[in-house]
Amino acid sequence: MTERSAKGAATAMWGGHFEGGQDALLEAINASIDFDRRFYAEDVAGSKAHCAMLVRQGILSEDDGDAIREGLDRVLAEIEAGDFRFDRALEDIHLNIESRLTDLIGDAGKRLHTARSRNDQVATDFRLWTRAAIDRLDGHLKALQAALIDRADAHAGTVMPGFTHLQPAQPVTFGHHLLAYVEMIGRDRGRLTDARRRLNECPLGAAALAGTSFPIDRAQTAEALGFDRPMANSMDAVSDRDFVLETLAAGAILATHLSRLAEEMVVWSSAGFGFVKLSDAFTTGSSIMPQKRNPDAAELVRGKCGRVIGSLISLLVTMKGLSLAYSKDMQEDKEPLFDAVDTLEITVRAMTGMVGDMAVNEERMLAMAGVGYTNATDLADWLVRAAGVPFREAHGITGRVVRLAEKRGCALDALSVEDMRSVDPRITGAVFDVLGVEQSVASRTSLGGTAPERVREAVATARARFL
């Protein structure tokens, strides 16, 4: 025989049509209180707004309204003090709070649920929670941008190799490189801000799916909870979770950006590069090799990206086949977002710490900036400017000069002018004015370029735009 649980408080709150008790397995799979208890503050806030509206509309008496508000304050205080007993038999945060409220104030507590359903209640709670989560994330991202901008300012003239395909490409400045991530994170903040704007409509009053016959004022509750307006369609209000999907999508892109920066931290701190040294605060040692300094924080930021992307895929798959309106599948909408937000908050903060206290080896960066003939484009550009050579022809000439340098086992600027003229007689000694890596970066003065003067301008602009 299967184990059966006796009729409990949950059945008393919704089970008038039922005679038998639930199977214990149903209770176990049905309960969401273990995770949706995180909504407690939002649930109380929504209930207070709903209560105030019911009183104003004459649906509840003033006395009942006063009792409910006082009771909700007591429930909130109990939860925040750790004195509240969450009961899995009551399934979710809504019934847990309502049950305790009724224990405290009697029949008035049973009247609170007039003109609403758990369907619009949870949708409202979830939008409130997501809105606050986006605001917290935005603050963390702003701090990360500030750390990146400060380091970019300090290293506006620090020359390093720039890469494509992880092969040496052209010299750039470290400040310029860091500002690329400032721009990426700025777009991440923009996507989250857009998601917040679109989610800021209030489902409360949609009830189960069809609205209610009570004369409620949905505009009042929307305003009280800081929403821009009530949601226009009651079925849409309770049945869609695109606001969660959009937040997760923005979070997945953010996590990807964090992962790319984390990968660079791992590479830069390796012995082969030696560009930066991560502090003791964000590295670990080996249990067997005493010399090791492992970039574990960066590796974990990189690794947790997959977790955030997985949360997005999980909810997309959950939602893809659901007909309107609410289905119990949608109980699976919360844990992916909770986990993604928790993961993003800790990874953004860890990255901010790493950026802020990494030690930069400017000498090593400069020494590596010219390795791999990164100044070849400067020779091609000089041929165009000084000798009037079409760029495609200049490209070919430069390639042959590079091949000559490779055969000689030397850098481009170590070749003599006679060596270069053996490839093309239009090359003169003036070419050496542009072949140094510092001259190379200084010449890249186009808007958005890597020249130190442009980087300093970009730093000032970024401070004004983002901080």
113-140 burial string, b = 16+ CB within 10 Å, else e? bebbbbbbbbbbbbbbbbbebbeebeeb
Helices 40-56 and 93-105: crossing angle in degrees, nearest 10, is 60
Q: Indicate the pairing of strand 359-360 with strand 276-277.
A: antiparallel
Q: Is 418 left (phi over 0), alpha (psi -120 to 50) or beta?
A: alpha
Of 126, 247, 135, 145, the closest CA to residue 191 belongs to 247
Of 7, 202, 240, the closest CA to residue 116 belongs to 202
Q: Please state the length of the chain.
A: 467
Catalytic residue (choose from 61, 270, 286, 416): 286
Of 155, 154, 142, the closest CA to residue 182 belongs to 142
203 near 123, Cβ under 8 Å?
yes
- 171: helix, strand or coil: strand
User: In which element (H, E) is residue 229 found?
Assistant: strand 229-230
**Residue 177 known to be catalytic:** no
Catalytic residue (choose from 165, 213, 287, 323): 165
**Cα gap 203→218, rounded to integer Å:** 9
- Give the helix ranges, DSSP H, for 370-451: 376-387, 391-408, 417-421, 437-443
**Cα gap 42→98, rounded to integer Å:** 14
Alpha carbon of 358 to those of 147, 169, 190, 280, 298: distances in Å? 11, 25, 27, 10, 12
113 near 55, Cβ under 8 Å?
no
**Residue 239 known to be catalytic:** no
**Cα gap 52→39, rounded to integer Å:** 20
Neighbours of 399 (CB within 10 A): 15
Q: Which residues contact 272 (CB under 8 A, 6 or more apart)?
A: none
Q: Which residues are catalytically annotated?
A: 165, 286
